[in-house]
Structure formats: structure tokens, C-alpha cells
Amino acid sequence: MDSRWDGLRAEVRAALDDLVTSGREAGVQVAAYLDGAPIVEEQAGLADTATGRPMTADTPVHAVSTGKGLTATVVHVLAEQGRLDEDLPLARVWPEFARHGKDGITLRHVLTHTAGLPALPADVTPADFTDWSRMCDLLADATPLWAPGERLAYHAWTWGWLLGEVVRRVTGRPVSQVLAEEVAGPLGVTRELFLGVPDAELPRLARLEDAGLSALMTWAGAHLPHFDAVAPPAVRPDTTTGSDPDVLRADVPSVGTMSARAVARMYAALLGPVDGVRLISAERLRAVSAPAVRAQEWVFRQESTFGLGYAVDDDGSFGTAGSGGSLAFAYPELGLTVAAVRNRLGAGDGDPMERLRALVRDRVAETLSGAQTGP
């Protein structure tokens, strides 16, 4: 790796060591790419505290909604190939979906969480999640809560099947297979970037631990009026759901499993070439990373901004983050991508993964700025 970033790597390594030795974290990975090349790849701690198995750079970690970035990327890669279009009505390739006035819902509405279909039946279970046809039938028969584009509501679970079924109808392949063949394969990370996790890879996954996430989900169910509509009690995004081998094996494309270095590499290939692989054009990059909707969001009641499948932040980045503390973001203006994953899923802990993202972003911005203004 480029020696210019030795100091940054040492700073990240020290931060990770402190998190692990203090007992705040079990295992952590942080990775960053700049202009298509890795500049940070650090990890510390244990992938499994019960067995003492170490966290290595290639250990996959279930990273909850950070996986939405994988599914969004599949959609944009297919769009780049001319096989999909953001303004495609879902019912054009999925005729059953047109029921109950849903014929006007487009991929753009789904990508921006404005499709009006954030809710699931209250009695849905993890077993339902493992049945692709059942979940798609539920959504095909659902009645929208409002007209498409009318309101921003985080489609916590439904988002994945809505996009994934369109991908399946267009390609004839499950979305996890498309990810493997069109994204992970060309980038050389097929064993580190998953939607559905193959059986043979399950023993390699980090073992999740709860450090406050479950309590936060319980609080949200009690205090946010619409939370249980989008994440019913039996399928809240927590360590229980994220550790269920049947759910991990299944395609549940609102969540994903990954190493930090693999997802940082994927975002880097959205920005530009990585070892000769570029996933989308510069023109499409500008379109997918630009703010598409900004409004008060229905579930969490916070002002939120989304591009086409990714959150867009005020610092110029786009990407996704997951419950309990995982993230992957790209900074087009800097040519930078940053990812961080952890297996001790926390809440109310000061968000150490976000602090690590800010550390890498700020050091890179400072260095690049100094290089531009130097003699």
C-alpha cells in the first residue's frame, strides 16, 4: 500500500486496538480505497469470542442494512448494461404486482423509499423470509399506504424483495447470484460479499453479539408508531435475525454479509476502475449519487436524503449503514470509499464506526488539500 498513508493506517489500528482491549468491541474491520487502490485494511479482535477465532480481513460479517448498497449496486450494474431502467414500472416485468393500483410504481420509487409499500403483516416470521415466493406474493397483493412518490418511508425489509424480484424477472437469476456473477466475481471478492450466504461459507462468518441493539429495537417498537409496521416484532433487524442460518442462506436483499475490504472495493468500482473493473459510467455515477428525495421520513421522523438506492449525506458521500453499527460510503469528490463492520452490534455507544469513517475521511481530505496547496 501507498506509504503516504502509513500514518493513517497506524491511527486506525490504534483506534481499533483501543476499542477491542477496552471491551467495547469484539471484532472490527475498517477498509478504505482511494482512486481505486486500497489505502486502509485494518482489523482487530475476535470473530467469535466463544472459540477465540480471530477477526481476519476476509471474515464476512452480517452487516444488516449496509447490504442495501449491494442490492442497489446490482440494479445499477444491470441498468448500465441496458437491462433495467430506473423509470421501469415494476408491473411491466412483474404483472401480478399491478394489483390494487400499483401499476405506477417504478424502480425509482423503490430505490428512493417512496413506493408506499414499507409495511409487512404483523405476524410475519423468519420462516416467511426464507420463502422468496411467499414474500413476493405478499407484496404483489399489498395495497399501497399512499400514492408513489407522495411520502418518504424507509422500506426496511420490503425494499429488498421489491428490487430483487425485478432483478429475478429480468435476468432469470436470484439477486444473490447476480451479485456474485456481475459484481463480486469481477472484483475478486466472491467469498466476502453476499446477499444469500452459501452453506459452505456460513462457518466463516463472524458470530454476532448483542450490545444494546435489541433494547433499541424494543424501545423503537414502543415509541415509534410506525416502527413495528416496517419491522414486525418477530423479524426486527437484530442479532437474532442476523444469526439465523436459514435467514442468512436465503435471499433477503435488504440486508447483507460482507467484509469491510470487499464492500469498500465495490464502492470504489462505482467511482472508477479498480484493477480494470468499473461497474458504472461516470454519468450514471452522478445520477445515482445525487440527492433524489429529501423529506421527513415516516418511520424515524427525521429529515432524510436518499439518492437512487443509497443514503446521501451532507459531507458529499453516498452509501448505506446498518443497525448496530456498520457502514459503507463513497466520496466521489475525494475518490474515496470507507467501510467498517463490527460483530458486537451496539446502540447508544457513540457510534464508533461512524467516528472511524470520519477519521479516514478527514485525514484523506486534509492530505489531499495539503498536496494541492503545497509548493
Residue positions annotated with a catalytic role: 65
CA distance 357 to 370: 20
d(CA 220, CA 252): 22
Between the CA of residue 293 and those of 32, 169, 289, 344, what are the distances in Å? 28, 27, 11, 32
All 3 cell numbers of residue 55? 477477526
Residue with cell 494541492: 372
Residue 331, strand partner residues: 336
Cell numbers found for residue 121: 403483516
Counting every residue written for the chain, the total comes to 375
Maximum CA extent, the chain? 65
The cell for 66 is: 449496509
Backbone torsions φ then ψ of 64, nearest 5 degrees: 50, -130
Q: Is 42 exposed, middle or buried (0-12, 13-18, 19+ CB in 10 A)?
A: buried
Alpha helices in 22-157 (DSSP H): 68-80, 90-93, 107-111, 126-129, 132-140
* Consecutive H or E run containing 37: strand 37-48
